[in-house]
Amino acid sequence: MQIQEVFDLVKDDMINVEEVFKKNLSSSVPLVSKVGEYILNSGGKRFRPLLLLLCARLCNYNGESHVPLAGVMEFIHTATLLHDDVVDSANMRRGNAAANTVWGDGASILVGDFLLSKAFTMAVTYGNDRVLNVLSHSTTRMAEGEMLQLVKHSDIGMSEEDYFEVVANKTAVLFSSSSQVAAILGEVELEQEVALANYGMRIGTAYQLMDDCLDYVSTDNALGKAVGNDLREGKVTLPLIHAFKSANETDRSVLKAAIEADEFDESKLKEVLGIIERCGGIEYAIEYAGKLVEEAKKDLELFDPVVERAALEAVADYVIERSF
Amino acid sequence: MQIQEVFDLVKDDMINVEEVFKKNLSSSVPLVSKVGEYILNSGGKRFRPLLLLLCARLCNYNGESHVPLAGVMEFIHTATLLHDDVVDSANMRRGNAAANTVWGDGASILVGDFLLSKAFTMAVTYGNDRVLNVLSHSTTRMAEGEMLQLVKHSDIGMSEEDYFEVVANKTAVLFSSSSQVAAILGEVELEQEVALANYGMRIGTAYQLMDDCLDYVSTDNALGKAVGNDLREGKVTLPLIHAFKSANETDRSVLKAAIEADEFDESKLKEVLGIIERCGGIEYAIEYAGKLVEEAKKDLELFDPVVERAALEAVADYVIERSF
């Protein structure tokens, strides 16, 4: 199944999710709605809502709460984008000026808080205690993941273990929550709920691994921001960690100097890319992601081979096939 | 009753609230706990927990949830302090370096997110749907209040109406939630719940009015930051709004220039203070606060004249008597 067919499968629900966005962005302060609309309409793939909607159908959920809860996932995601761009002093997001570039850090911080609070308001209305528990633990872990990333900023000695903790928390946990919340709605057996939570965790991790690879090997246009951005921001990711582990002394000192530089030397980008390539840093990360995707597909084996299961398998494949 | 006697009344509960803080600040990322402890132990008055604990007793609540929920209120409050100091580029908070000055904006934003998420986790565990509803609406309104303040930054034409909307949302709503949540726990009649919510709203508003007055007329030492800070940050508050409305043309242009200046001219502070004094801006705001406090005490008349009611009356008086 192609990813477009997957989206077609939940087209009607997704239209309703977009309505949920609109409705919940309304505010007595017009700038809140404006910044919120800007970031929500900046080309996001709606990956987390897609997961929730597909999993809800896979779990034979027949109610109406999956639509607002899919909206909750995107609101939480969007809130963290706004905050992360301030934390990273990012200028660009998906080919457009980042919200903090347009309206300043203050507006991005506060609209992020607004979206997170709205997400909880919606979750209180449409979720139950278990859903709320999953969500509040997720947002806690997301903040911790971002903090660990901040602490490990410019640290070439960052371990694979720390890297995977950052990835699990800052990215994968919200994928995992999206599929788990659907399982809770569908009231499936605990074993199936755990399987879906694991599925989300694995494809979320693979998603971030690919993001981190694409940051090195994509093009500026496809990324919507400059290639080598993680390096420039002092973010140590798996391709670099692997390269540093296997490089010779000379290359290691080049990598160390590049990540530790206060002001990144653009002329060094090619050299760093060359070292990562020689050490197979990208292949290593992609292979890792590939294994996760295979395991994620195995998680689905507890479910009947219905069209939604095929769709979720296609989503898993897409995560590592996408080029942006 | 003196404010110290009021605090003594709930001393044991308050010790348990501090334990709740400690327990919920633990994190796999040590810097999260460190920044959290720093801001939580920076001399806050624990006013919102105090309100919740007193109101819970007034409402004859006999359970255990009032302690963690009092902790929730302080966590939410503390999260907004961290974010607001970044939004305002503040250097000082209660006589100490602001967290963003010590650890940077990124850490303050992310630990704020952590505290807010932890607050919701605690609220999900110890609250019910109505409590969660009140809390999530409060945090939404708090973000909107801060955004309106940001939009009205350096705007000498800010109306009293806008000012009171900012104050209601950014400050009073969390006071109101603190007393209302206690009423929900105590399962009192709706009329009493509304009265306590109103009580909190009025003293919260009076509290912010006094804050805004003290910013002009206190001393640097008592404030723990420089006098005239709001003016320096471009924040238009009631003393200034009132002065601008009643000043003559010459004075109005001085006020306008002072608030609109990109870089505040310190030599103008005395002149601005003189104009505010001549126009009775401080008296106007204090008188307003005094009326709110009297109304707040009337809200309590639906309750028997027990010691907790006397304590809440003392809290109301303290709000306008305090000098820092």
Q: CB–CB of A31/A107 below 8 Å?
A: yes
As given in the structure block, the two tokens for residue B228 are 């005239």
Q: Answer yes or no: do A143 and B111 touch at CB < 8 A.
A: yes
Q: Provide the number of CB pairs (under 8 Å) joining chain A to chain B.
A: 142
At residue B263, the pLDDT reads: 86
Please tell me whether the interface predicted TM-score (ipTM) of this complex is above 0.95: yes
| A323 CB burial (10 A radius; 0-12, 13-18, 19+) | exposed
Q: CB–CB of A62/A188 below 8 Å?
A: no
Asked, for residue B130, whether it belongs to a domain, the answer is yes
Residue numbers in A near B109 (CB within 8 A)? 83, 86-87, 109
Residue numbers in A near B133 (CB within 8 A)? 121, 124-125
Q: Answer yes or no: do B147 and A29 touch at CB < 8 A.
A: yes
Residue numbers in B near A28 (CB within 8 A)? 144, 148, 165
At residue B324, the pLDDT reads: 63
Q: Residue B301: give its domain's CATH number.
A: 1.10.600.10
Closest chain A residue to B83, measured at CA: A109
As given in the structure block, the two tokens for residue A165 are 């903790």
Q: Name the residue facing B87 among A106, A117, A120 (closest C-beta).
A: A106
Cβ neighbours for B23, distance < 8 A, ≥ 6 positions apart: none
DSSP string, B213-230: HHHHHS-HHHHTS-TTHH
At residue A313, the pLDDT reads: 98
Q: Name the residue facing A109 among B32, B83, B165 (closest C-beta).
A: B83
Interface of A with B in 34-53 (CB under 8 A): none
The span from the CA of A5 to the CA of A258, in Å, is: 43
Q: Answer yes or no: do A150 and B106 touch at CB < 8 A.
A: yes
- pLDDT band of residue A324 (cuts 50, 70, 90) is low
CB of A116 within 8 Å of any CB in chain B?
yes
At residue B270, the pLDDT reads: 93
CA distances from A117 to A93, A110, A279, B7 (A): 23, 10, 45, 31
As given in the structure block, the two tokens for residue A224 are 């919507």
Torsion sign over Cα B147, A19, B120, A208: negative
Q: Answer yes or no: do A117 and B150 touch at CB < 8 A.
A: no
Burial A289-311 (b: 16+ CB within 10 A, else e): bbebbebbbebbebbeeeebbeb
Low-confidence ranges of chain B (pLDDT < 70): 324
The span from the CA of A233 to the CA of A249, in Å, is: 24
What domain range is B16 assigned to?
3-318
pLDDT over 90, % of chain B: 93
Q: Which helix (H) or strand (E) holds B116?
A: helix B99-126
Beta bridge pairs of residue A93: A96
At residue B262, the pLDDT reads: 87
Residue numbers in A near B165 (CB within 8 A)? 28
- pLDDT band of residue A225 (cuts 50, 70, 90) is confident
The span from the CA of B255 to the CA of B36, in Å, is: 38
The span from the CA of B34 to the CA of B37, in Å, is: 5
At residue A220, the pLDDT reads: 75
At residue A224, the pLDDT reads: 77
Q: CB–CB of A85/A42 below 8 Å?
A: no
As given in the structure block, the two tokens for residue A200 are 């989300």
Q: Considering the entire predicted model, what is its pTM?
A: 0.97
At residue B223, the pLDDT reads: 74
Q: Name the residue facing A136 among B87, B121, B140 (closest C-beta).
A: B121
CB of A221 within 8 Å of any CB in chain B?
no
At residue B240, the pLDDT reads: 98
CB of B117 within 8 Å of any CB in chain A?
yes
- Quote the strand ranges of B42-181, DSSP E: 92-93, 96-97
CB of A86 within 8 Å of any CB in chain B?
yes
Residue numbers in A near B151 (CB within 8 A)? 29, 31
Q: Answer yes or no: do B147 and A110 touch at CB < 8 A.
A: yes
The span from the CA of A71 to the CA of A85, in Å, is: 21
Closest chain B residue to A89, measured at CA: B106
Give SS3 for B264. coil
At residue A307, the pLDDT reads: 98
Comparing CA positions, the residue from A259, A207, A218, A213 lying closest to residue A236 is: A259
Asked, for residue B323, whether it belongs to a domain, the answer is no
CB of B168 within 8 Å of any CB in chain A?
no
Asked, for residue B324, whether it belongs to a domain, the answer is no
- Residue position matching structure tokens 């927990």: B49
| B191 CB burial (10 A radius; 0-12, 13-18, 19+) | exposed
pLDDT in tens, A268-280: 999 999 999 999 9
Asked, for residue B46, whether it belongs to a domain, the answer is yes
Long-range contacts of the stretch B129-135 (C-beta < 8 A, 24+): B129/A124, B130/B184, B131/B69, B131/B181, B131/B184, B131/B185, B132/A120, B132/A124, B132/A132, B133/A121, B133/A124, B133/A125, B134/B177, B134/B180, B134/B181, B134/B184, B135/A120, B135/B72, B135/B76, B135/B177, B135/B181
Mutation target to probe the A interface, by most A beta carbons within 10 A, among B84, B147, B148 is B147
Point out the least confidently predicted range of A111-125, A165-179, A277-291, B207-221. B207-221
CB of A113 within 8 Å of any CB in chain B?
yes
Q: How many domains does chain A have?
A: 1
Residue numbers in B near A133 (CB within 8 A)? 121, 124-125
